[in-house]
Structure 1
Amino acid sequence: MRVQTEEWRRFIPGVRMYKGKKTLFYNGEKLYDEYGKYLIYSKEEQESWEVIIVLPGVEVIPEETFSFSKVEAVIMSDTVRRIEDSAFWNCTRLKHVKLPTNLEYVGSSAFRCCKSLEAIFIPPSCRKIDLAAFQGCKKLVFLNVPQHTQLSYHVIADTTLIYISPFATDHNGEYDNDREVNDWIRNLHAGNEFSLHRACCSYNPLDEVIFGIIKRQGLKTFKKQDRLGATASLYLSRNPSADTKEQKIIKRYILDMMGEVI
């Protein structure tokens, strides 16, 4: 799902059906007070939301704002700079997250126990991901984190990603050395052994980079799983920032092999 900036200018805050989904267009307003009383929408209303679109102008997603069981997708405008603690905690159906390109901070447990979340693409602007930000995201396997981003403890505990790493120590996805795990996370997109991950799972995947890989390795690259168990097509289908289409890349490859000028 993509929402273009020019469309956003027409939207006003509130709840409405959008592309067949019950959607909150969020402008940063408080949804409840410090005593847990609902200021604008009832609990029943909030539990019915399927999509959250954060409108331009919002800079901070407050603590414990969107812990709703039916939310499937979150799309944030590029004005958002901070996602505070437990902002999306326990959104158990959340599958699609489009983070802002200017994001600087992801708070503690921000996406904790989002059990359906498979993919997260951290933008280069992000300075820190705090304690257990993605802990309990059991299906999380596609993750791109810039090398300069500071990672706190147990960021990916109890996720699919930690289980396929060399570091999981028990059935709860716990591990002993956060430094080793964090270095491994930051370097997933570096080195030839994760070349598909680097090309397709980055925040801004480039046709030229992917094309260079399949030019060297052939079309089998799109079918062959890498060490994380994913093909290029699967990476691109999960990346909300990817504009690259498999057929477009394959066409470029075939034309190149035929000696056509692209």
Structure 2
Amino acid sequence: MRIQTEEWRRFIPGIRMYRGKKTFFYNGEILWEGDLFWYHRGHTLIYDKEERKSWEVVIVLPGVEVIPESTFFECRKLKTIILSDTVRRIEDSAFNCCMKLESIKLSRNLEFIGRLAFRWCEFLTSIFIPPSCSEIGDEAFLYCTRLLIIHVPLQTRLGNCVIFGTALIQTINQLVDNDILNNWIRNINRAEEYALHRACSSFNPLEEIIHAIVKRQGLQSLKKRNFIRLTPMQYLEANPYTDIEEKKIMKRYILDMMGEIV
């Protein structure tokens, strides 16, 4: 689900159908109180548990800077999260146990992701962390069993067991020290031979850079697999911050080559 910038102006807080899905337009309210880690010891505010379990999309409205602890804990039908670029912090367990969650578009100005923030989001397959994010807490993506595509900036501090139990960590097939693992996460596509992977998995993919690499390496580079068996196009297709398509890259490459021949 893509939202144009001008659309934000029309949104008001509350729950309603939007593009055929039950959508919660969130304005920063406190939705939970009590013990924020153990679900049965706290209780909901404003919306009861059954209502929370019916939301399919959460759109965080402009002006919201913090997603408080456990705000969307166990919203079990939630599939899509879109954060406005004003959001700077996602606190502990904010989206814990959103088991159907498939797609997250993070704020471009996000600075912090708390402990267990996205634990047990079992349908999540990709996450792209912005350069502004300085820290990701312990076990933030614990047991996101389908999570394979993850872009983390080099400067982001990673806690313990950030990706434990994910599809990505299964590609290692061995136990490694936490510091070694965190360094590996940051450097998956750093080798020069994976320049196209790096460009397509970046937080802001640029068509000019992608075209320059494809022109240098040839069309076969679009299908080249890195050591976790992913192609550049798989990164690009999963990236929520771009609408660049493979056919557009191929068309530009072919036209460029024809121009050189002529």
Pairwise same-fold verdict (TM > 0.5) = yes
Deviates more, 1:43-52 or 1:209-218: 209-218
- What is the alpha-carbon distance in structure 2 between the residues aligned to residue 32 and residue 128 of structure 1? 24
- What is the alpha-carbon distance in structure 2 between the residues aligned to residue 74 and residue 96 of structure 1? 6
Residue in 1 that maps onto 2:38: none
User: For structure 2, which runs of at least 5 residues remain unmatched after alignment?
Assistant: 35-40
Aligned counterpart for 1:96 among listed residues 100, 103, 106: 103
Residue in 1 that maps onto 2:55: 49
Residue in 1 that maps onto 2:147: 140
Q: What secondary structure is seen at the aligned counterpart in 2 of 1:9?
A: helix
The alignment of Structure 1 onto Structure 2 pairs a total of residues equal to 254
- What is the alpha-carbon distance in structure 1 between the residues aligned to residue 98 and residue 229 of structure 2? 25
Deviation track 1:139-163 (CA, whole Å, cap 9, x = no partner) reads: 1111111101111111111111111
Deviates more, 1:214-223 or 1:77-86: 214-223
Deviation at 1:223, TM superposition (A): 2.9
Deviation at 1:260, TM superposition (A): 5.8
- What is the alpha-carbon distance in structure 1 between the residues aligned to residue 178 and residue 13 of structure 2? 41
- What is the alpha-carbon distance in structure 2 between the residues aligned to residue 176 and residue 233 of structure 1? 29
Q: Structure 1: which 4+ aligned runs deviate by more than 6 Å? A: none
Q: What secondary structure is seen at the aligned counterpart in 2 of 1:258?
A: helix
- 1:36 and 2:27 matched: no
- What is the alpha-carbon distance in structure 1 between the residues aligned to residue 233 and residue 197 of structure 2? 11
Q: Which runs of structure 2 are paired with 1:11-22 in the superposition (5 Å)?
A: 11-22=11-22
Structural RMSD (CA): 1.6
Identity between Structure 1 and Structure 2 (%): 56
- What is the alpha-carbon distance in structure 2 between the residues aligned to residue 195 and residue 251 of structure 1? 20
User: For structure 1, which runs of at least 5 residues remain unmatched after alignment?
Assistant: 170-174
Aligned counterpart for 1:70 among listed residues 77, 85, 88: 77
- 1:106 and 2:113 matched: yes
Residue in 1 that maps onto 2:90: 83
Residue in 1 that maps onto 2:211: 211
- What is the alpha-carbon distance in structure 1 between the residues aligned to residue 189 and residue 2 of structure 2? 25
Q: TM-score, normalised by structure 1?
A: 0.92
Asked if structure 2 preserves the Cα contact closer than 8 Å seen for 1:112 and 1:137, the reply is yes
Looking at secondary structure, tell me which structure has more helix per residue. 2
Asked if structure 1 preserves the Cα contact closer than 8 Å seen for 2:196 and 2:214, the reply is no
Q: What secondary structure is seen at the aligned counterpart in 2 of 1:259?
A: helix
Asked if structure 2 preserves the Cα contact closer than 8 Å seen for 1:193 and 1:227, the reply is no
Asked if structure 2 preserves the Cα contact closer than 8 Å seen for 1:188 and 1:197, the reply is no
- What is the alpha-carbon distance in structure 1 between the residues aligned to residue 160 and residue 53 of structure 2? 31
- What is the alpha-carbon distance in structure 2 between the residues aligned to residue 25 and residue 204 of structure 1? 26
